[in-house]
């Protein structure tokens, strides 16, 4: 009886602990929607032909809905803000626990960072991962000074002081949250044209850090071991600057290992991207119109090079994506209307059809 009571008290404490943790952990349903993306993957149907991994240059610039609508390619973006290359590697490893895509696409801008940058970006990329060896390894590789690995397993250790900053969102989304991403794509429909293209500051050393080379290689080998085609891309955004010296190193790596590498900066006109209309922040990221153009262009390459099948004729995929496309088009319409009326979009989350 005493043991039973003890167990009951422990269970009560655990419920309180996890309830508080859920309440205090950021919900990413306003402001920083990017933080919702990584976790959303786990509730998806996992049968994707293409997985994108990388930083904002994947989740802001490629539209999986366009890839399906135009080519019948099923794809998902496991992207995060300023995702570091070791985070990309472990997210890929994590993804392969659930599915084996035919193609993995990695955006190479992250090669510029040879060490952890900031806890804030770590949180956006790691908090949403479910507990696994991949997550633990990603956390250990990413910790900045003063961070505690345990707080990535029990976020309440980091967020316990948030009780002073709780918002109605924390209660509203305590049980379940809306969706922010469309297969990992974060939609933006505002327009802010490019007016200036900043020069890149000179660097003392243009060589990628050894750790970046190591993780790039680990991703390539992991793909190879799983029979996956590994593709490198550089998104067509004009800032941060992509140096010729970096380009040469990636070209050389791709050539050495027989990988497809597409630097979309060299295909801006081919893709039909117009930086007067297709960016929402003066060239750092594409808006929805730009992402759709880029996806149309890239979809043709993926189809041709890797012979991906057209899933639009498969009833299950067709039904699944019909619902997804409805949600996608509804958000697009809402954002465009909001931008035209008020100069800014406000609809960034939705309830799935």
Partner 1 sequence: MKKHTIITIAILAAAVFGACDGEPAAPGVLAPGNTASEASAPAMSVDEASAVPGEAGFEFIYKGNAIVLGSKADDFIAKAGAPKDVFEAPSCAFEGIDKILYYPGFIINTYPIDGTDYILSVVLGDDSLTTPEGVYLGMGADEIPDVYGPVSEKENALIYKKGGTTLTFITENGAVADITYYYEAAISVQE
Per CB under 8 A, residues contacting partner 1 are 2, 5-6, 9-10, 13, 17, 26, 28, 31-32, 34-35, 55-56, 81-82, 109, 117-121, 123-124, 144-148, 150-151, 154, 156-162, 165, 195-196, 198-199, 201-205, 239-241, 281-282, 284
Q: Give whichever of 31 and 133 is closer to partner 1, judged by the CB atom.
A: 31
Q: Give whichever of 202 and 315 is closer to partner 1, judged by the CB atom.
A: 202
**Could you tell me if 84 and 116 are in contact, meaning their C-beta atoms sit under 8 angstroms apart?**
yes
By CB neighbour count within 10 A (0-12 exposed, 13-18 middle, 19+ buried), where does 346 fall? exposed
Closest approach, Cβ 147 to partner 1, in A, equals 8
Three-class SS of 39-106? HHHHHCCCCCCEEEEECHHHHCCCCHHHHHHHHCCCEEEEECCCCCHHHHHHHHHHHCCCCCCCEEEE
What is the spatial distance between Cα 251 and Cα 261, in angstroms, rounded to a whole number?
A: 7
Closest approach, Cβ 201 to partner 1, in A, equals 6
Residue 25: partners with Cβ closer than 8 Å, 6 or more residues away: 127, 155, 156, 159, 162
Closest approach, Cβ 247 to partner 1, in A, equals 17
Q: Give whichever of 49 and 60 is closer to partner 1, judged by the CB atom.
A: 60
Q: Give whichever of 242 and 297 is closer to partner 1, judged by the CB atom.
A: 242
Closest approach, Cβ 173 to partner 1, in A, equals 13
Q: Give whichever of 121 and 328 is closer to partner 1, judged by the CB atom.
A: 121
Closest approach, Cβ 146 to partner 1, in A, equals 5
Beta bridge partners of 54: 79
**Could you tell me if 56 and 292 are in contact, meaning their C-beta atoms sit under 8 angstroms apart?**
no
Closest approach, Cβ 295 to partner 1, in A, equals 20
Q: What is the DSSP letter of 173?
A: T
Q: Give whichever of 145 and 343 is closer to partner 1, judged by the CB atom.
A: 145
Q: Helix crossing, 288-306 with 64-71: angle to 10°?
A: 50
Q: Give whichever of 239 and 306 is closer to partner 1, judged by the CB atom.
A: 239
Closest approach, Cβ 279 to partner 1, in A, equals 11
**Could you tell me if 94 and 41 are in contact, meaning their C-beta atoms sit under 8 angstroms apart?**
no
């Amino acid at each position: 009886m005493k043991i039973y009571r003890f167990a009951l008290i422990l269970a009560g404490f655990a419920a309180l602990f996890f309830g508080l943790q859920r309440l205090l952990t950021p919900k990413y349903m306003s402001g920083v929607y990017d933080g919702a993306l990584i976790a959303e993957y786990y509730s998806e149907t996992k049968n994707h032909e293409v997985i994108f991994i990388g930083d904002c240059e994947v989740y802001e610039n490629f539209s999986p809905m366009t890839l399906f609508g135009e080519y019948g390619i099923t794809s998902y973006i496991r992207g995060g803000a300023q995702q570091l290359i070791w985070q990309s590697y472990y997210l890929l490893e994590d993804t392969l626990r659930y599915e084996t895509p035919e193609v993995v696409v990695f955006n190479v801008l992250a090669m510029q960072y040879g060490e952890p940058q900031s806890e804030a970006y770590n949180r956006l990329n790691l908090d949403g991962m479910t507990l696994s060896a991949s997550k633990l390894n990603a956390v250990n590789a990413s910790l900045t000074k003063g961070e505690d690995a345990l707080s990535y397993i029990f976020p309440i250790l980091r967020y316990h002081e948030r009780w002073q900053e709780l918002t109605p969102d924390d209660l509203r989304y305590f049980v379940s949250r809306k969706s922010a991403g469309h297969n990992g794509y974060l939609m933006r429909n505002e327009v802010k044209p490019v007016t200036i293209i900043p020069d890149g500051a000179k660097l003392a050393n243009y060589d990628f850090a050894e750790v970046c080379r190591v993780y790039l290689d680990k991703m390539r080998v992991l793909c190879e071991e799983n029979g996956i085609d590994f593709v490198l891309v550089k998104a067509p955004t004009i800032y941060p600057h992509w140096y010729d010296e970096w380009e040469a190193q990636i070209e050389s790596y791709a050539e050495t290992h027989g990988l497809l590498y597409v630097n979309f900066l060299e295909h801006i006109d081919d893709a039909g991207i117009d930086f007067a209309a297709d960016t929402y922040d003066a060239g750092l990221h594409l808006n929805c119109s730009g992402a759709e153009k880029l996806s149309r262009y890239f979809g043709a390459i993926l189809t041709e090079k890797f012979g991906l099948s057209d899933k639009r004729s498969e009833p299950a995929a067709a039904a699944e994506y019909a619902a997804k496309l409805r949600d996608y088009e509804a958000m697009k319409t809402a954002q465009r209307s909001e931008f035209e009326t008020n100069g800014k979009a406000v609809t960034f989350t939705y309830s799935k059809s």
